Amino acid sequence: MSAGRLWRGGLRWLNAQVRLRRCTLGRRVTLWGRPHVNASGEIALGDNVTVHSFLSRVQLSAGEGARLSVGEGTYINNGTVLSARDEVRIGAGCQIATGVIVMDSDFHAVGDLDAAGKTAPIVIGDGVWLATRATVLKGVTIGEGAVVAAGAVVTKDVAPYTVVAGVPARPIRSLR
């Protein structure tokens, strides 16, 4: 590996240390660009997590008393929104494509903008792939090795090693 590549990797590590300083970081977390971070609660990124936030900003948010955790070796691409008001737990080795939205809250009630919305934890298993502009809503568990197709809206649990697509997302294929 060239000295230039090592240096650029060091800059991406340093960028993560500075811009994600309100988060708990594992070893060798790297960051390209400038994310928007709201760490009123706890945000934890595991070892070897990579965040690309240079074409459009990644948003990492954990409200007061909430927890957002990302497992080791997970990749988060441009424009992704990860928002926890209760808990969002993302496993190891996941691939999160451009423009993905993961939100565990409605933020406000329907018809009453001052009333608190409902929240429910989201759990995403190891090795999950969330394709471009997929949306994962509150209360969902996505099993290990599952794939969520581009543009899908996940409103119900997804079995391990299953491909889901559509609005709302439905199983279209088993990967076993």
Residues 150, 154, 146, CA angle at the centre, nearest 5°?
70
Q: Which of 8, 21, 36, 108 is catalytic?
A: 108
Task: Compute CA 97 distance to the chain's CA centroid, rounded to the nearest angstrom.
Answer: 9
Residue 52 among the catalytic residues: no
| DSSP H or E stretch at residue 4 | helix 3-19
Which two structure tokens, joined as six digits, stand for 69?
């955790």
User: Which H, E and C letters describe 160-175, residue by residue?
Assistant: CCEEEECCCCEEEEEC
CB 42 within 8 A of CB 66: yes
Catalytic machinery residues: 108
